[in-house]
Amino acid sequence: MKARILGTGSYLPERCLTNDDLAQWLDTSDAWIRERTGIGRRYVSEAGTAEMAVRAAKAALENGGISAEEVDLILVGTMTPDYFCPSVSCQVQCALGADRAACLDISAACSGFLFALSTAQAYISSGMAETVLVIGAETMSRVVDWEDRGTCVLFGDGAGAAALQAGETGILAVDMGCRGSKGMALSCPAVPLQNPTERARYEENSFIRMDGQEIFKFAVRTVPDTVRRVLQAAGIPAEEISHFVFHQANRRILLSVAKNLGIPMEKVPMNIERTGNMSAASVPVLLDELNRKGELVRGEKLVLSGFGAGLSWGSLVLEW
Ligand code: UT7
């Protein structure tokens, strides 16, 4: 059995910040941000990660014609949960009334939705689950330093979801990996170590710190490799893929990846201009936008690919 996406959903907050808004307090400009990243604006949420995840999940279940009672497993890719516990997935279960579901958050930053989808495939193909709700949801606005022009211009908030069920076709091949040795190139501290026997060893804020050029180099080298591997594993040539749905980190990264792979840009959809980098939410939000525009045809083959902190990457080929 394979994991097949039957429905998608997404939620984007009402409020957004344009590049000109940021330039009111940062030494930056609309021209710089657009040229270096392709980003024009990004959403910032009034709600937490779970609330956005619930809205996306409801839309995905409705779109797929699946009831909350059918869901066996809820997987949420996120690096910005509202609480260490309960998990976002448990909060989603409660809000949906998906009482039969087991719940699990997956921390793989921008690769989170891909890691969660591959986990869904593993559960479904092994027979451990039949219906799985996979969500990518992030409130990146809570972990960016709004005074750091090198990072805060990049990120945005949002949530996307996919409802999957066991079927004859669906996810055909998966390629995932991590390079923990380079992990500090993109980091965000949690709470300091502090207990009755140990004083705080560091006093950092929970803000994202990033070596942008290191991540850029990592992405333009790693993404073509993972896409080639996953296509080979599926036994499908790149020409047969209708859409390459990539994590929306930077327009220049995607142009470079497409050129390396010899893919026409018409097959590389982008929403980064409107949304910025929403980490684990980028791929499912874009997928839902394509689905709702009627651009995904049943039977066509897609590649989904995410990459980022960890460092990590995850790609898969699926039949829509
Ligand atoms: O999901 C993965 C998440 N991370 C990424 O995808 C990041 C990947 N990396 C990137 O997208 C790019 O490296 C950035 C967009 C972050 C930066 O672009 P860059 O072309 O690598 O610029 P840079 O870091 O080399 O900086 C060039 C200059 C510097 O000034 P000086 O030292 O040349 O005077 C920066 O201080 O641009 C400056 N700069 C800015 N200027 C205006 C950095 N950020 C900004 C800004 N506005 N927002």
| Residue pLDDT tens, the chain, 320 long | 999 999 999 999 999 999 999 999 999 999 999 999 999 999 999 999 999 999 999 999 999 999 999 999 999 999 999 999 999 999 999 999 999 999 999 999 999 999 999 999 999 999 999 999 999 999 999 999 999 999 999 999 999 999 999 999 999 999 999 999 999 999 999 888 778 887 766 667 889 999 999 999 999 999 999 999 999 999 999 999 999 999 999 999 999 999 999 999 999 999 999 999 999 999 999 999 999 999 999 999 999 999 999 999 999 999 99
Residues 177 and 269 in one domain: yes
How many angstroms separate the CA atoms of 302 and 85, rounded?
Answer: 35
Domain shared by 69 and 89, yes or no: yes
Q: Residue 212 C-alpha to ligand 1 middle, in angstroms?
A: 6
Task: Kindly state whether residues 191 and 144 are assigned to the same domain.
Answer: no
Q: Are residues 49 and 124 in the same domain?
A: yes
Is the bond preceding 196 in cis, omega lying within 30 degrees of 0? Answer: no
| The pLDDT value given to residue 200 | 66
Protein residue with least CA distance to atom 35, ligand 1? 150
Does residue 159 share a domain with residue 17? yes
Tell the residue number behind the tokens 């930053």, with chain if given: 109
In the prediction, which pLDDT does 192 show? 80
3-state secondary structure of 93: helix
| Dist CA 227 CA 176 (whole Å) | 10
143 Cβ closer than 6 Å to some ligand 1 atom:
no
Nearest residue (by CA) to ligand 1, atom 29, is: 150
Question: Is the pTM of the predicted complex or chain greater than 0.85?
Answer: yes
How many domains would you assign to the chain? 2
- 225 and 157 co-located in one domain: no
Residues 164 and 18 in one domain: yes
Q: 243 CA to middle of ligand 1, Å?
A: 28
CA distance 283 to 127: 26
Tell whether ligand 1 has an atom less than 6 A from the beta carbon of residue 24: no
- Show which residues are catalytic: 110, 247, 277
Residue 254 Cβ inside 6 Å of ligand 1? The answer reads no
Q: Is 146 in the pocket of ligand 1 (CB under 6 A)?
A: no
Shared domain check, 234 and 89: no
Q: Is 207 in the pocket of ligand 1 (CB under 6 A)?
A: no
Find the 158 Cα to ligand 1 centroid distance in Å.
23
Asked if residue 163 and residue 200 are part of one domain, the reply reads no
Residue 26 shares a structural domain with residue 153? yes
Q: What pLDDT, on a 0 to 100 scale, did the predictor assign at position 204?
A: 72
Nearest residue (CA) to ligand 1, atom 47: 28
Q: For ligand 1, atom 44, which residue shows the shortest CA distance?
A: 150
Cβ neighbors of 270 (< 8 A, separation 6 or more) are 38, 248, 251, 254, 286
- Report the atom number in ligand 1 closest to the C-alpha of 213: 13
Structural domain ending residue among the three candidates 129, 144, 168: 168
- Residues 154, 188: one domain? no
How many angstroms separate the alpha carbon of residue 150 from the centre of ligand 1? 5
Q: Tell me which residue range forms the domain holding 215.
A: 173-319
- Whether 177 and 144 map to the same domain: the answer is no
Does the beta carbon of 28 sit less than 6 angstroms from any atom of ligand 1?
A: yes
With a 6 A CB cut-off, is 30 part of the ligand 1 pocket? no
We report the CATH number of the domain holding residue 21 as: 3.40.47.10
What local confidence, expressed as pLDDT, does residue 267 receive? Answer: 98
CA distance 198 to 231: 50
Q: What one-character DSSP code corresponds to residue 297?
A: -
H-type alpha helices, 97-183: 112-125
* Residue at a domain's end among 168, 195, 225: 168
**Of the residues 122, 140, 168, the one at which a domain ends:** 168
